[in-house]
Structure 1
Amino acid sequence: MIFKHVAESHSISKAAEKLGYVQSNISQRIKILEAELGVRLLNRNNRGVTITNEGATLLDYANQILLLMEEAKIELNPEKWPEQLTIGATQTVSALRVPRILSSFLNVHEQVEVKVKTDTARLLLEQMIYGEIDGAFISEPFDQDGLKTVYTIVEKVSLISSTSCPVEKQPEQTLLVNSDPHCIYRQKLIHLAKKNSQKNARIIEFDSLEAILQSVSDGLGISLVPSDVAKLSRYEHEYTISELPETVQINFVIKNRQQQPKGLKRFIKFLSEETYSK
């Protein structure tokens, strides 16, 4: 387990922090393992560690062993060890899209215990590397070794403003955006403002989608959200909605490995069959 954390985080210090050990303990345990196997598993450098070919082979076996142990517990005592599925999602995606998908999934696979974690795309990708989540719905482009996209959803987006203060009556539009600088909806809104000669538009950041929606309703400014969210019946009298020709691509991303947890395999198969209501 120690080797797995070091190899996947490419850092002895990060692995030590994650496991609650001192760095010297981690280093010593790795050296003992290398001596026992008679091969070098990691290359040390100023930027951390990189895994050797022998280390990659060991990591693959370690992942397979851990997954087999989990499957054995499920088979032997499913009441005590039910199938687990932990899904991550960025805040905007988790507002509507993910609940719909999971509701349909659980109608078919009610034996699977599902957890959902909401965070920024960067932190979700990090959690996936550490094995804290099985997969994540990411609406931003990502460049991370060891991960792959297994399913993609194309989502329409809409510009929203208050019915009492529509866009055309806001010569100096205030942009209401997520505080995450990598949020794709934030980036698209700022790009749209610049395209429309609003290069110095005022920007107000929020930590939640609900706060953005309420602020738009109160006439504080405009925002860009998934069309499905903007068109929810509870908002239909609060917003002026302008659907854009642009779209956002939502990817379901997982770790690229030979064996996947049983709950995750069921979920990927479910997505590929498109049995849920879009």
Structure 2
Amino acid sequence: MRGMLFLESHDLWIFKHVAELQSVSRAAEKLGYVQPNVSQRIKGLEDELGARLFVRNNRGVTLTEEGKVLLDYTNQIIKLMDEAKSLINPQKWREPLTIGASQTISAVRIPQLFSSFLKEHKNIDVKVKTHDKKKLQEMLSYGELDGIFINDAYNYPQFETVYSYFEKLVLVLPQYSHFEKKHEQTLIVNSDPNCIYRNKTLEFSKENNFYDPTIMEFDSLESILQAVQDGLGISIIPADVAKNRTEVQLIRYKELSETIKIDFLIKHRKQQPQGLKKFIQFLKRK
């Protein structure tokens, strides 16, 4: 019948890869297809919908507003298909649950939560994706994630906080550092400018009147800890991380009075995935 849409799930799967990788060629490589085949599938979707889904540029492609809408529905469709398979044949398929968190937040507390959660719900397939806060919110908005753990305020009205906890902070120093020297300090921080622990380290430096400190950036928590252990400088990290690194002998820990709030956010939906519902119920009992 003229005007009726017949979107195929496989075409949506291809579209999802192009959208997430922001590249037709990278999507083709990941899926094992030739690039013209992927381009043809995307063009077919655009023709069927009567709208452009991507804007092409020199670095790849970015979603149009119509493409963002389709990506949200695509992720919902894929999640519903996965959920249906797990309900029809739980012996073969597991319920999906994909959570996002920053690298530092996900270092200790998140694995501890899922360790307890999976003891109660063995048929759930949990995935944790780490990104910076801005990217996590974007992925939740598009439906790529079921929920995210972040700190501080968020700017999306379609999000809601369903669980929160407070995290203690510690100052980590090399074993033989001279903390009293205000003019020769090096601050070891995450390279993400929005990292809460980076900002707390910089605030601590100002509050303690460090004079023109050197800033040294690293991309991972392990690199930050190694840099402190090697005597390169000081940093502020979650207390839980410090407690789980007691085997490190060349670092001193000083607990701070301040705490930070970590929120678990989900997107407003009429129907939430079953795996997410079970995880929220679990969190509310903590």
Q: Which bin holds the TM-score, normalised by the shorter protein? A: 0.7 to 0.9
- Tell me how far apart the structure 1 counterparts of residues 157 and 216 of structure 2 sit (CA, whole Å): 34
2:227 aligned residue (215, 224, 228): 215
After superposition, the CA RMSD in angstroms is 3.7
Q: CA deviation at 1:153?
A: 1.1
1:183 aligned residue (162, 187, 195): 195
TM-score of the two chains, using structure 2 as the length reference: 0.74
| 1:132 maps onto 2:144 in alignment | yes
Q: CA deviation at 1:145?
A: 4.0
1:97 aligned residue (106, 109, 115): 109
Identity of aligned residues (%): 46
2:254 aligns to what SS in structure 1? strand
**What do the CA deviations read for 1:234-261 (whole angstroms, capped 9, x no partner)?**
2464322222222111111222211111
1:247 aligned residue (259, 269, 278): 259
Q: CA deviation at 1:179?
A: 0.6
Amino acid at match of 2:144: E
Q: CA deviation at 1:199?
A: 5.5
**What do the CA deviations read for 1:103-131 (whole angstroms, capped 9, x no partner)?**
11111111111112222122222222333
- Tell me how far apart the structure 2 counterparts of residues 67 and 272 of structure 1 sit (CA, whole Å): 23
Amino acid at match of 2:198: R
- Tell me how far apart the structure 2 counterparts of residues 129 and 60 of structure 1 sit (CA, whole Å): 8
- Tell me how far apart the structure 2 counterparts of residues 15 and 142 of structure 1 sit (CA, whole Å): 28
- Tell me how far apart the structure 2 counterparts of residues 115 and 272 of structure 1 sit (CA, whole Å): 20
Mark the CA change 1:260 to 1:196 in structure 2 (over 3 Å): closer, same or farther.
same
Task: Report the counterpart of residue 196 of structure 1 in structure 2.
Answer: 208
CA contact (8 A) 1:63 1:259 kept: no
Task: Report the counterpart of residue 37 of structure 1 in structure 2.
Answer: none
- Tell me how far apart the structure 2 counterparts of residues 62 and 231 of structure 1 sit (CA, whole Å): 41
Q: CA deviation at 1:233?
A: 5.4
Structure ranking higher on relative contact order (CA contacts 8 Å, 6+ apart): 1
CA contact (8 A) 2:172 2:237 kept: yes
1:241 aligns to what SS in structure 2? strand
**What do the CA deviations read for 1:26-65 (whole angstroms, capped 9, x no partner)?**
688567547xxxxx9x9xxxx98657xxx98x99988776
| 1:162 maps onto 2:174 in alignment | yes
Amino acid at match of 1:153: Y
Task: Please give the residue correspondences for 1:1-278 in structure 2 after superposition, counting only pairs within 5 Å.
Answer: 29=45, 32-33=48-49, 68-169=80-181, 171-198=183-210, 200-232=212-244, 234-235=246-247, 237-274=249-286
Mark the CA change 1:216 to 1:19 in structure 2 (over 3 Å): closer, same or farther.
closer
CA contact (8 A) 1:121 1:140 kept: no
Mark the CA change 1:186 to 1:146 in structure 2 (over 3 Å): closer, same or farther.
same
What number of residue pairs does the alignment pair up?
A: 260
Mark the CA change 1:236 to 1:63 in structure 2 (over 3 Å): closer, same or farther.
closer
Q: CA deviation at 1:141?
A: 3.2
- Tell me how far apart the structure 1 counterparts of residues 259 and 234 of structure 2 sit (CA, whole Å): 18
1:167 aligns to what SS in structure 2? coil
Mark the CA change 1:59 to 1:220 in structure 2 (over 3 Å): closer, same or farther.
closer
TM-score of the two chains, using structure 1 as the length reference: 0.76
Q: CA deviation at 1:232?
A: 3.0
Unaligned runs of 5+ in 2: 1-8, 29-37, 54-61
Decide which moves more: 64-73 or 202-211: 64-73
2:134 aligns to what SS in structure 1? helix
- Tell me how far apart the structure 2 counterparts of residues 231 and 61 of structure 1 sit (CA, whole Å): 42
